[in-house]
Amino acid sequence: MNNGTPEEQFFEQIAERAPQPSESASAPSKLKSRMYSALMRRQAASGPLASFTQAKASGHGLCCFEELVRIAPVGEQVKSLNICRVCHARVLGENLENAPIYWPNCPYVRFQNR
């Protein structure tokens, strides 16, 4: 048992009694897609996102559309836009379970329960 505060001990006891989810249990891909979209909207509302140039330089993979914007002769401000807002992969991911999207490095593809 944890020797922390009474609140921590209380939650530890509840967690110990709670049934453990099976390894195969997973949230629906539509829910994961909608949550990701909401998080991205909130992040974009709080300030500029990292540009695709910065993301690529730090080792993050870009989807094919992000890569096109990254190599386009446009300013870093454009490269910091959330282009997923206009991508059809987002629309499919948010509305179809196991959506027919397969692009590498697309977050909506990773959310699909395949």
pLDDT at 24: 62
In this structure, of 12-16, 65-69, 86-90, the range with the lowest mean pLDDT score is 12-16
CA–CA distance, 109 with 99 (Å, rounded to integer): 8
CA–CA distance, 50 with 71 (Å, rounded to integer): 15
Burial class (CB in 10 A: 0-12, 13-18, 19+), 91: middle
CA–CA distance, 75 with 48 (Å, rounded to integer): 13
Domains in the chain: boundaries? 50-114
30 neighbors 95 (Cβ within 8 angstroms): yes
What pTM was estimated for this model as a whole?
0.72
17-59 residue pLDDT tens? 887 766 666 789 999 999 999 999 999 999 889 999 999 999 9
